[in-house]
């Protein structure tokens, strides 16, 4: 195979000893290496420390689930505590409230959706709308392709942005508020699981009854 | 807030008791519910049974990492065992070899990439190219946005398609081959982690030395 000569031909042999490919890591070596990486259980921080990713199946058509999510105000239905969004700019910036914690915290959101890839990214922030650093990366996938059944798979990732650990704009916070959104990082996974379950229930209810997934009020 | 009247107004109150929103699930109830969902450790199957998702940081520019991944033949560099791809159709179908297991297994692949969302999906299958059901869903995200530093975050999900559990085209398998790709499902996570590490090392080596991430031979 001439292509095995071309692959990585710009990198001197031995320069990347921790790159494991069948050419430098025979099966006898790869199998135990991989077996040692499998564990019966994994600690919380290893799984949800740097990223909070979850995914799930929704028994509703992917294009309709995507269209629904692409509406910023759908957040008012399926999230636990985001409410009352109003569009405040001509560049798709919305202002709402996060009723989590002490309540009445301003949350700004701009949704960037790509119909081709069915990605929906909510760029959000508490307290200010200039730097939207709380980013919810979502994607709807056709379950027919990946699970051999009708419906949708929803992927959802948040990355552990350093601002979760320290509020970069403390002067913008509501006077007297004692919580910061990052205080909840350790429970993002169960919180998002609960919200993904909300999304699933709402979409499946509407789809199974022939209701539009995206209601008029959005 | 009038919007709380509109949200879910097409769904009768009480129809979805397991939808938890701040309106029907006060903090006193939500906090212990969420706390009970957090565990010190999680079993392998709960985390990697239905989906195999991983993600990681790569110190190289997101657009360049995306462009590299969007080339089907990049798989020959960063995967453990996919090699020797040749384009065999005018609709982007490639044929290569998966050297895993007994080796010499045909693997077909069609890459669907979306530059706007920076998603790269490899639609693959062992043995035949008509039904590409092994789908590697990848996405490159600008780390500046989600981690406040230059570079890329790479997201990668495989879904547990039922064909992993039973070869749907046994007659297409190489005579005498004793393994099936789905036999490896339980070690997909460490296998993919090793490959994501390969990708990271290769991209970071090239970027740090001013080499093009996508070499000429691709």
- What pLDDT shows up at residue B100? 87
Q: Residue A1 pLDDT > 80, yes or no?
A: no
- Verify whether the Cβ–Cβ distance B137 to A141 is below 8 Å: yes
Q: How much is the average pLDDT of A68-88?
A: 97
Helix, strand, or coil (residue A80): coil
Question: Where does the pLDDT of residue A13 fall: very low under 50, low under 70, confident under 90, or very high at 90 and above?
Answer: confident
Rg (C-alpha) for chain A, rounded Å, is: 22
- Verify whether the Cβ–Cβ distance B21 to A81 is below 8 Å: yes
- What pLDDT shows up at residue B13? 86
Percent of chain A with pLDDT over 90: 88
Q: How much is the average pLDDT of B67-95?
A: 96
- What pLDDT shows up at residue A189? 97
Q: Which domains does chain B have, with CATH numbers?
A: 20-208 (3.30.530.20)
Closest CA to B70 of B135, B139, B134, B144: B139
- Verify whether the Cβ–Cβ distance B84 to A10 is below 8 Å: no
- Verify whether the Cβ–Cβ distance A81 to B22 is below 8 Å: yes
Contact yes or no for A177/A101 (Cβ under 8 A)? yes
Q: Residue B102 pLDDT > 80, yes or no?
A: no
Nearest to B10 among A80, A85, A215 (CB): A215
Helix, strand, or coil (residue B193): helix
How many CA within 13 A on the CB side of residue B137? 28
Question: Where does the pLDDT of residue B158 fall: very low under 50, low under 70, confident under 90, or very high at 90 and above?
Answer: very high
Report yes or no: B179 at the A interface, CB cutoff 8 Å.
no
Report yes or no: A77 at the B interface, CB cutoff 8 Å.
yes
- Verify whether the Cβ–Cβ distance B34 to A187 is below 8 Å: yes
Give the mean pLDDT of chain B: 95
Report yes or no: B38 at the A interface, CB cutoff 8 Å.
yes
Residue of chain A whose Cα is closest to the Cα of B204: A16
- What pLDDT shows up at residue A87? 96
Q: Does the ipTM exceed 0.90?
A: yes
- What pLDDT shows up at residue B27? 86
Report yes or no: B88 at the A interface, CB cutoff 8 Å.
no
Nearest to A116 among B84, B117, B137 (CB): B117
- Verify whether the Cβ–Cβ distance A99 to B22 is below 8 Å: yes
Closest CA to A155 of B58, B132, B55, B188: B55
Render pLDDT for A84-104 as a digit per residue (tens, 0 to 9). Answer: 999 998 899 999 999 987 778
C-alpha distances (whole Å) from B66 to each of A133, A179, B152, B203 are 22, 37, 9, 11
Q: How much is the average pLDDT of B68-97?
A: 96
Q: Mutate which of A94, A137, A142, A160 to test chain B, going by most B C-beta atoms within 10 A?
A: A137
The Cα A65–Cα B146 span in angstroms is: 24
- Verify whether the Cβ–Cβ distance A10 to B44 is below 8 Å: no
Q: Is A171 exposed, middle or buried (0-12, 13-18, 19+ CB in 10 A)?
A: exposed
**For residue A52, what are its two tokens?**
């909070």
Report yes or no: B35 at the A interface, CB cutoff 8 Å.
yes
Residues with Cβ within 8 Å of residue B10, at least 6 apart in sequence? A206, A211, A215
Among the residues of B49-151, which ranges form H helices? 62-70, 75-78, 143-147
User: What's the distance, CA B124 to chain centroid?
Assistant: 12
- Verify whether the Cβ–Cβ distance A9 to B79 is below 8 Å: no
Residue of chain A whose Cα is closest to the Cα of B50: A56
The residue ranking higher by pLDDT, B156 or A17, is B156
Question: Where does the pLDDT of residue A5 fall: very low under 50, low under 70, confident under 90, or very high at 90 and above?
Answer: low
The Cα B90–Cα B103 span in angstroms is: 27
Q: How many CB atoms lie within 10 A of CB B89?
A: 11
Render pLDDT for B106-153 as a digit per residue (tens, 0 to 9). Answer: 999 999 999 999 999 999 999 999 999 999 999 999 999 999 999 999
- What pLDDT shows up at residue A3? 47
Contacts of B33 in chain A (CB under 8 A): 194
Render pLDDT for A137-190 as a digit per residue (tens, 0 to 9). Answer: 999 999 999 999 999 999 999 999 999 999 999 999 988 898 999 999 999 999
Residues with Cβ within 8 Å of residue A174, at least 6 apart in sequence? A102, A104, A105, A106, A127
The Cα A118–Cα A145 span in angstroms is: 14
CA distance A10 to chain B (A): 8
The Cα B174–Cα B197 span in angstroms is: 31
Closest CA to B66 of B148, B142, B144: B142
The Cα A16–Cα B19 span in angstroms is: 50
**For residue A167, what are its two tokens?**
């509020």
């Amino acid at each position: 195979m001439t292509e095995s000569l071309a692959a990585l031909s710009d990198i001197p042999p031995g320069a990347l000893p921790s790159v494991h490919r069948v050419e430098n890591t025979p099966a006898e070596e790869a199998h135990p290496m991989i077996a040692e990486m499998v564990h019966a259980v994994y600690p919380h921080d290893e799984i949800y420390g740097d990223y909070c990713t979850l995914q799930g199946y929704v028994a509703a058509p992917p294009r309709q689930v995507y269209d629904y999510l692409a509406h910023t105000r759908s957040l008012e239905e399926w999230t636990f505590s985001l409410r009352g969004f109003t569009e405040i700019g001509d560049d798709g910036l919305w202002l709402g409230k996060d009723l989590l914690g002490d309540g009445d915290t301003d949350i700004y959101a701009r949704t960037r959706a790509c119909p081709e890839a069915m990605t929906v990214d909510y760029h959000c922030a508490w307290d200010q709308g200039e730097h939207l650093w709380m980013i919810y990366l979502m994607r709807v996938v056709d379950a027919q392709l990946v699970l051999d059944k009708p419906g949708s798979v929803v992927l959802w990732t948040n990355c552990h942005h350093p601002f979760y650990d320290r509020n970069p704009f403390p002067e913008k916070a509501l006077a007297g508020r004692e919580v910061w959104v990052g205080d909840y990082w350790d429970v993002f996974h169960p919180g998002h699981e609960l919200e993904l379950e909300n999304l699933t229930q709402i979409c499946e209810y509407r789809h199974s009854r022939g209701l539009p997934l995206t209601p008029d009020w959005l």
